């Protein structure tokens, strides 16, 4: 568990309590040592979180100074829930897991009425996990990881007519167009920006090369080109 997540859970465990929570209980809940709990609480106190208590006695938030929960309007919360569902349905497994974890953290500190509103929203994005969908999710994860690591990719690609080509590309971003993903990249074969449909990528592999951010062919340049093309089509 990341330290930031652990500190969040410490505060959440103390919120609203009227009696001190023993450090031993926190350690068991978080799966860490007592020493780690003592250190985390001390760090939170130094950062200004109003925690009272001491080792052997327990901890609680100072009376009258409870940290307020995250507050969202009903529409804001519904947008977060729906967005999380769409990420789970259409993104890779890595982002889907992140969306689930983020939503659980948000719901953990919501007032009951907003938590119930989150459960009642009627906009769905069903998640299908047949073999084809699972393979595609893994491909999105690989492309996402290559973008983050600036890895040059070798693609076995098929165009709209099914014609094959081998491309080495510098992947810059992924975009979802309400049903289809595209990979925005600098294509070394064409020496220009190109969009590639992941569902037309028959195979991909990292070459082991890390590409540099070269002026004229980076993400900002790609987005500027994409914006100019949209403007020209109007």
Contacts of 115 (CB under 8 A, 6+ apart): 107
Same domain, 80 and 56: no
**Domain boundaries, position 146:** 131-233
Same domain for 112 and 49: no
Total domains in the fold of the chain: 3
107 by Cβ neighbours in 10 Å (0-12 / 13-18 / 19+) ranks as middle
H-helix segments, 15-165 = 23-30, 34-46, 74-90, 93-108, 112-120, 131-149
Residue 8 lies in a domain: yes
Residue 149 three-state SS: helix
Q: Say if residue 22 is in the same domain as residue 95.
A: no
Task: Look up residue 34 and give its two tokens.
Answer: 């007592």
Task: State pTM to two decimals.
Answer: 0.67
Reported as a single tens digit per residue, the pLDDT across 53-81 is 888 889 988 876 555 555 677 788 888 88
Output the domain CATH number for residue 193: 2.30.30
| pLDDT for the residue numbered 231 | 44
Domain membership flag for residue 22? yes
pLDDT tens-digit series, residues 18-38: 889 999 999 988 889 999 999
CATH, residue 56: 1.10.10.10
Assess whether 10 and 50 both reside in one domain: yes
């Amino acid at each position: 568990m990341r330290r930031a997540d652990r500190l969040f859970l410490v505060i959440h465990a103390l919120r609203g309590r009227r009696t001190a929570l023993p450090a031993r209980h926190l350690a068991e809940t978080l799966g860490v040592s007592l020493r780690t709990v003592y250190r985390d609480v001390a760090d939170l106190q130094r950062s200004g979180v109003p925690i009272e208590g001491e080792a052997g006695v327990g901890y609680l938030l100072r009376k009258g100074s409870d940290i307020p929960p995250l507050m969202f309007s009903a529409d804001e919360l519904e947008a977060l829930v729906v967005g999380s569902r769409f990420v789970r349905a259409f993104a890779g497994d890595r982002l889907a897991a992140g969306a689930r974890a983020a939503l659980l953290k948000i719901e953990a500190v919501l007032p009951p009425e907003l938590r119930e509103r989150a459960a009642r929203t009627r906009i769905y994005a069903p998640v299908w996990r047949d073999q084809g969908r699972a393979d595609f999710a893994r491909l999105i994860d690989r492309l996402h990881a290559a973008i983050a690591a600036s890895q040059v990719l070798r693609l076995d690609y098929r165009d709209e007519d099914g014609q094959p080509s081998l491309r080495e590309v510098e992947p810059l971003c992924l975009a979802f167009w309400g049903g289809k993903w595209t990979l925005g990249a600098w294509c070394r074969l064409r020496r220009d920006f190109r969009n590639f449909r992941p569902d037309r990528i028959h195979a991909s592999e990292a070459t082991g090369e890390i590409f540099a951010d070269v002026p004229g062919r980076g993400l900002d340049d790609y987005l500027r080109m994409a914006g100019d093309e949209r403007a020209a089509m109007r």
